[in-house]
Amino acid sequence: MTKVNADILTWARESAGYSSEEAANKLGIKDARGMSAVERLEQLEWGDVEPSRPLLLKMASQYHRPLLTFYMNEPPSKADIGEDFGTLPPDISMGTQEGILDALIRGVKARQEILRSTLEAEEGLDNLSWVGSVNMKAGLDTVKQSIIELAGFTGEDYWNCSSPDAGFSFIREKIESLGAYVLLISNLGSYTTTVDVERFRGFALSDSAMPFIVINDQDAKPAWSFTLLHELVHLWLGVTGVSGSAGDVAIEKFCNDVAGQILLPDEKVRALGITKADDITHVRDIISSFSSDLNLSRSMVAYRLERLDMITSATWRSLTSSYRAQFLSRRAAIKEKAKQTAGGPNYYVIRKHRLGATLINTVGRLLSGGSLSTTKAGTVLGVKPKNVRKLIDFRRTDAFGGI
């Protein structure tokens, strides 16, 4: 019988971000037979003791690894996330979230590969001319105009939407019509594996025929559209990578500036008439009213003001910090209210909104044609095989408002 590779037990724990003490507690290992829980875990990792099947299943769950991983000859390579553009604020420590983010990206890449290989075999795939069509040397205006012309919308179209939700759906539909897939994902299937927005606001998986964009749905809804456009610029540049909340590298600023100028052109920002001499309370009031009227994120408006040198960097940092604190407080209140409220939105409504119509329709077509098994369809959609057909066939006449 094949034995567990003890070296992989250590690697899996460390890559999940757990110390020996934390892992022993998560796995339910207790002090026994004159040894501490940590010493018993070390025996397993040194190969002195073979883990039981139930314990191995716990490890697979807690370390976010498939069971077969523990029988491999050597640890698999870390998920290829391209470039990691996220820089964390000094008060944020990700700990185990690095392992969760790695697992999340591996999962999305697996979905992408299943879909890509199936479509290549059954229907063939054409390269998308816009993916990787430019580089930063082309300049901000060139990239911005290329996106506006091909995607077919402007910032004003977005402002005229009825809400940030409707605005996001509008932009998502335009981008998916170009051949991209846009998903809303923040965890591995449970709230305990949620990745903080500070670490991952969005990521782009560049592919010449099947690019994916993933948005962290734990972010404020007015920020989704900006992040979506930011990641679209990554695809336009042909760059795979993860974006956090505080990316300071050149490509992140470039993507922010292109996305910002699409949603909020310079002339619209300058018309606010704000100057560095204005009191921060006055600036905050103007931003609040202005952003609400145009379905925009307050942080994005503040960022645009700073980039146009209309407010100081210190003012921008202060505003961003206060917006973040308000958002976290509001999100905590919403979660607490949800705990006390029975029921909630329909499961299939939520899943459809997070997956997007393009992905669901593609999977449905391949499933109906016999090109994709129910099991693989479930993997691509992130649901159990028994729920695949229900999800695909589910219809709802009203909008996804409020989700």
Give the DSSP per-residue string, 333-394: HHHHHHHHSS--S-HHHHHHHHH-HHHHHHHHHHHHTTSS-HHHHHHHHTS-HHHHHHHHH-
Q: Among positive and negative, which fits the CA dihedral 35, 40, 43, 45?
A: negative
Asked if residue 185 and residue 125 are part of one domain, the reply reads yes
Residue-level pLDDT at 333? 85
Asked if residue 332 and residue 206 are part of one domain, the reply reads no
What is the residue-level pLDDT of the chain in tens, covering all 403 positions?
Answer: 568 888 889 888 887 778 889 889 989 999 988 899 999 999 998 988 999 989 998 988 888 787 878 888 887 665 554 454 544 343 444 566 777 888 888 889 989 999 999 998 887 889 999 999 999 999 999 999 999 999 999 999 999 999 999 999 999 999 999 999 999 998 887 777 888 888 889 999 999 999 999 999 989 899 999 999 999 999 999 998 888 655 567 899 999 999 999 999 999 999 999 999 999 999 999 999 999 999 999 999 999 999 999 999 999 999 999 998 998 888 888 777 777 776 667 889 999 999 999 999 999 999 999 999 999 999 999 999 999 999 999 875 444 433 3
Tokens of 83: 């470039």
Asked if residue 236 and residue 134 are part of one domain, the reply reads yes
- Asked if residue 403 belongs to a domain, the reply is no
Give the range of the structural domain holding residue 12, as residue numbers without chain letter: 6-71
Residue-level pLDDT at 332? 84
Of the three residues 322, 341, 360, the one that is the final residue of a domain is: 341
Q: Work out the angle at residue 247's Cα, subtended by the Cα atoms of residues 182 and 217, and round it to the nearest 5 degrees.
A: 35
Residue-level pLDDT at 92? 44
Give the chain's domain count: 4
For the chain, the residue count is 403
Please enumerate in sequence order all residues whose Cβ is within 8 A of that of 219, keeping only pairs 6 or more positions apart, or say none: 197, 201, 227
Asked if residue 351 and residue 337 are part of one domain, the reply reads no
Of the three residues 19, 39, 71, the one that is the final residue of a domain is: 71
Of the three residues 341, 356, 385, the one that is the final residue of a domain is: 341
Asked if residue 102 and residue 188 are part of one domain, the reply reads yes
Asked if residue 257 and residue 114 are part of one domain, the reply reads yes
Asked if residue 255 and residue 230 are part of one domain, the reply reads yes
- Asked if residue 272 belongs to a domain, the reply is no
Q: Is 2 exposed, middle or buried (0-12, 13-18, 19+ CB in 10 A)?
A: exposed
- Asked if residue 370 belongs to a domain, the reply is yes
- Asked if residue 121 belongs to a domain, the reply is yes
- Asked if residue 271 belongs to a domain, the reply is no
- Asked if residue 376 belongs to a domain, the reply is yes
Asked if residue 291 and residue 365 are part of one domain, the reply reads no
Asked if residue 323 and residue 382 are part of one domain, the reply reads no
CATH number at residue 14: 1.10.260.40
Cα–Cα separations (whole angstroms), residue 355 to 16, 51, 151: 26, 37, 20
Residue-level pLDDT at 344? 65
- Asked if residue 76 belongs to a domain, the reply is no
Q: Alpha-carbon distance 156 to 141, whole Å?
A: 17
- Asked if residue 402 belongs to a domain, the reply is no
Residue-level pLDDT at 269? 96
Asked if residue 385 and residue 319 are part of one domain, the reply reads no
Q: H or E stretch including 241?
A: strand 241-243
Asked if residue 333 and residue 351 are part of one domain, the reply reads no
Asked if residue 383 and residue 307 are part of one domain, the reply reads no
